[in-house]
Amino acid sequence: MEFITATNFDRAWLNFELDLPLPAGKNGEPNPFYVNRPGNPISDLTDALMAPFYRPPKFYFSGHRGCGKSTELLHIMASSQIRKKYWPINFSIREEADIIDLDFLDILLAIGGKMYRVYRQRGGDLPEKLLKELEGWKGKVEKEIRTVLDGQVSGYELGASIDAFFLNAGMKMKLEPATRIELRQVIEKDITGLISVINSISSAIFEREKRIPLVLIDDLDKPDLEIARSIFHDRREIMMQPNCAIVYTVSSALFYSKEFDAIRDQAIFLPNINLHPPSEPDGYDEEGYFTMRNFIKSRMSLDLIESQAVELAISYSGGVFREMARIMRTSLGRARRRGASQIAYADVELAATEIRNEYRRILDKNDLVFLRKVHEHNRLEYNDRLRPLMQLLAVLEYRNGENWCDIHPVLRRLIYE
């Protein structure tokens, strides 16, 4: 995709794609659509990765859906200081496993397989000793698979090369529930063997590159809270074992649960953009509005939208980039259907109404009572009702030194109906 500022509605529609992580340029320069956040909160993660350590660090990176986590991971990966210290790879767990039925074993296999495959794809040469070790481990796994199958028919390919084995295993984990169960049964019998393989691959890359592998895993925030608990709380010690640096994206729901204590010391949360001070819903955070305005004008000429419509769209976005893109796309569609040359104030208002109507279908009376309290007090405090509402983006978290929260701006009218 070309990252060109739009001068017409068709191009603008493409530029406001809702799921559009922004890769850096060829030489690590910022993407033309990338917007710096006030206070540069992602520097917390960069600084933590650059700090000295005895063992390769593990971090748990989270934030609201649509706040820009995927883009920030790509931004970190392209950083010259990061690339000087680390050999980084970034991948989505969606490519390697079924996120609806995800297990810690799937993630570990994905880490080892992806490191091996990417290093080979980049022309890396691994030592013969490691290749023999991998062949031995693969042989044990395949022997166990034959035992588990016990004559049953399976689509699993035995006797493949190591490259094909990792690729094949990943695809089977992702697409075939029956084979997924078989592989998990086999690998769980020898978790230390899988960890040893991961560590051997990591060590071999370090010996060749003189840089520690850094694995940035995206979309691990998509599974539900129970899966997140089982992986990052119940199996935390195992997930810390790989001898490479790892950034796990995790569900924001885990940050609002009692199990958060298990990852507290390595947790980094990416807040939304402040648009008003806490307890001042009619206030105006100039830096926040400037940031969101840059989000719009980097993608689309401001000649395509009325100035008042820009301000209204920002206020309704809640400081969430994905919500901003959603409002702009809906407004663009309405303006185009009218045959207009500009997005009007009324187009944005109708886009907000559309989002409000979606919430109207799923929020009950008790939700609305709770949301009214959140809006009145802006206090971020533990409550069983808070977590699902944050997952829905009905409640949004912000930071002005202290953490605080407010409701999605489109809901202000709904909670007082």
Q: What is the mean predicted confidence (pLDDT) over 46-74? A: 91
Give the predicted TM-score (pTM) of the model.
Answer: 0.90
User: Looking at the predicted structure, is the pLDDT value of residue 154 above 90?
Assistant: no
Provide the pLDDT for residue 110. 93
Contacts of 326-332 spanning 24+ positions with Cβ under 8 A: 326/18, 326/351, 326/355, 327/351, 327/352, 327/355, 328/12, 328/16, 328/296, 328/299, 328/300, 329/13, 329/16, 329/18, 330/354, 331/305, 332/9, 332/12, 332/13, 332/16
Provide the pLDDT for residue 332. 97
Provide the pLDDT for residue 150. 59
Q: What is the mean predicted confidence (pLDDT) over 154-170? A: 67
Q: Residues of the chain with pLDDT > 70: what percent?
A: 96
Residues 183-193 have pLDDT tens digits of 888 888 889 99
Provide the pLDDT for residue 149. 57
Here the tokens at position 211 are: 């840089």
CATH numbers and ranges of domains, the chain: 42-270 (3.40.50), 286-416 (no CATH)
Most confident of 43-47, 335-339, 376-380: 335-339
pLDDT band of 157, cuts 50, 70, 90 = low
Provide the pLDDT for residue 8. 96
Residues 201-223 have pLDDT tens digits of 999 999 999 999 999 999 998 88
User: Looking at the predicted structure, is the pLDDT value of residue 153 above 50?
Assistant: no
User: Looking at the predicted structure, is the pLDDT value of residue 329 above 50?
Assistant: yes
pLDDT band of 148, cuts 50, 70, 90 = low
pLDDT band of 384, cuts 50, 70, 90 = confident
Residues 218-272 have pLDDT tens digits of 999 888 888 988 999 999 999 999 999 999 998 888 887 777 888 888 888 888 9
Provide the pLDDT for residue 248. 95
373 CB-near residues (< 8 Å, 6+ apart): none
Here the tokens at position 114 are: 């992806």
Average pLDDT over the chain, rounded to an integer: 89
